[in-house]
Homo-oligomer: A and B are copies of this chain.
Amino acid sequence: MKLYSYFRSSASYRVRIALALKGLPYEYAAVHLVKGGGQQLSSVYRSVNPDSLVPTLEDGPHVLTQSLAIVEYLNELHPEPPLLPSDAVDRAYVRSVALQVACEIHPVNNLRVLQYLKNSLGVTEEQKTEWYRHWVDVGFGALESRLEDERRVGEFVCGGTPTLADICLVPQVWNARRFNIPLDDYPTVVCLADNAMKLEAFKMAQPANQPDAE
- Which A residues contact B (CB, under 8 angstroms)? 50-53, 62, 64-66, 68-70, 72-73, 76-77, 88-89, 91-93, 95-96, 98-100, 102-104, 106-108, 112-113, 116-117, 120-121, 123, 127, 130-131, 134, 138, 142, 145-146
Q: Are A99 and B66 in contact (CB under 8 A)?
A: yes
**Neighbour of A92 across the interface among B50, B64, B121, B134, CB < 8 A:** B64
Q: Are A142 and B96 in contact (CB under 8 A)?
A: no
Q: Are A62 and B76 in contact (CB under 8 A)?
A: no
Q: Are B104 and A51 in contact (CB under 8 A)?
A: yes
Q: How far is the CB of A45 from chain B (nearest CB, A)?
A: 13
Contacts of A108 in B (CB 8 A): 107-108, 113
**Neighbour of A50 across the interface among B52, B66, B112, B145, CB < 8 A:** B145
Closest to A105 in B: B107
Q: Is the interface of A mostly helix, strand, loop or mixed?
A: helix
Contacts of A69 in B (CB 8 A): 92-93, 95-96, 98-99
Distance between Cα atoms of A89 and B60 in the complex (Å): 11
Distance between Cα atoms of A159 and B112 in the complex (Å): 33
Q: Are A100 and B66 in contact (CB under 8 A)?
A: yes
Q: Are A121 and B127 in contact (CB under 8 A)?
A: yes
Distance between Cα atoms of A69 and B94 in the complex (Å): 8
Q: Are B100 and A103 in contact (CB under 8 A)?
A: no
Q: Are B66 and A103 in contact (CB under 8 A)?
A: yes
Distance between Cα atoms of A70 and B51 in the complex (Å): 26
Distance between Cα atoms of A88 and B104 in the complex (Å): 27
Contacts of A107 in B (CB 8 A): 103-104, 107-108
Q: How far is the CB of A169 from chain B (nearest CB, A)?
A: 14
Using A64-B96, A69-B92, A121-B121 as known contacts, list a sample of 18 further A-B pairs with CB atoms less than 8 Å apart, ordered by residue number in A: A50-B142, A50-B146, A51-B100, A52-B142, A53-B104, A62-B92, A65-B96, A66-B100, A69-B98, A69-B99, A70-B92, A72-B95, A73-B95, A76-B91, A77-B88, A102-B103, A103-B103, A108-B113
